[in-house]
Amino acid sequence: MSISVQRRGLMLVLSSPSGAGKSTISRALLADDPELSMSVSVTTRKPRPGEVDGKDYFFISVAEHERMVRDNELLEHAKVFDNLYGTPRAYVQKVLSSGKDILFDIDWQGTQKLTAGTREDVVTIFILPPSHDELDRRLRARAQDSDEVVRGRMARAADEMSHFAEYDYVVINTEIEKSIAQVRTILAAERLRRTRQPGLVDFVNQLRGGRSPNR
Ligand code: 5GP
């Protein structure tokens, strides 16, 4: 028997320095969870090889980004490295109002802005690499960016990681399968929070034989 109790959608934020494994974890979560979809950000940076417009990002011009900010179409926006990023508001609202969850791959600045607005609907996870050497290796292995970009990311990884204490959960990504399982566990537990299940009042009422739950 499957019982469905109406619940509120949540916003699951994953942040990490580049190269800590965040994208792999996101992909694994999205692949087998129909209740979860990805917030696709806008960015003014150029697509990397293999990136698809509308799937990885919406690649837009600086002028278009400015227009979206002006017209209040972005839930949050930030400058990361030398590029502008932002979270389109409309999609997030649509998903949440249908009782589904939404996954964000955004940096600490975006996370601060999201939590400032709607704290109770946001769950934040910071992913850390297992060691400095491993982070260094993973950044170089990526090799899609120029040396200058890689150097810039190395320098900023330390900065990004200094924000770990602003997050609800921290996962150290030593083994990717284990990290994926840990993030799934966090999501499963957060979905069961009583405050995220407004349908419980009716459900318990039925269990009690149709009486008002306060009686
Ligand atoms: P990349 O250019 O490597 O895809 O992303 C660079 C950084 O920008 C990552 O830390 C990523 O989490 C962050 N980022 C991507 N989209 C957004 C967004 O919409 N808002 C904010 N604040 N950060 C974002």
Render pLDDT for 26-66 as a digit per residue (tens, 0 to 9): 999 999 999 999 999 999 999 999 999 999 999 999 999 99
Atom from ligand 1 closest to the CA of residue 16: 10
The rounded Å distance from CA 33 to ligand 1 centre is: 23
Query: Which residues lie across from 79 on neighbouring strands?
Result: 84
**Cβ–ligand 1 contact at 121 (below 6 Å):** no
Residue 179 Cβ inside 6 Å of ligand 1? The answer reads no
Question: Does pLDDT of 164 surpass 60?
Answer: yes
Work out the average pLDDT over 89-114. 94
> Is the CB of 127 within 6 Å of ligand 1?
no
Q: Which of 58, 59, 76, 106 to mutate to test the pocket of ligand 1 (most atoms within 8 A of CB)?
A: 106
**pLDDT the model gives residue 117:** 84
Q: In terms of pLDDT, which residue wins out, 14 or 134?
A: 14
76-91 mean pLDDT:
94
In the chain, alpha helices (H) = 22-31, 62-70, 89-97, 108-118, 132-142, 147-161, 176-191, 200-207
- Measured from the Cα of 41, ligand 1's closest atom is 19
φ/ψ (deg, to 5) at 169:
-130, 150
CA-closest residue to ligand 1 atom 1 = 18
Is pTM beyond 0.85 here? yes
Domain 11-205: state its class.
alpha beta
3-state secondary structure at position 194: helix
Alpha carbons 36 and 75: distance in angstroms, whole number: 19
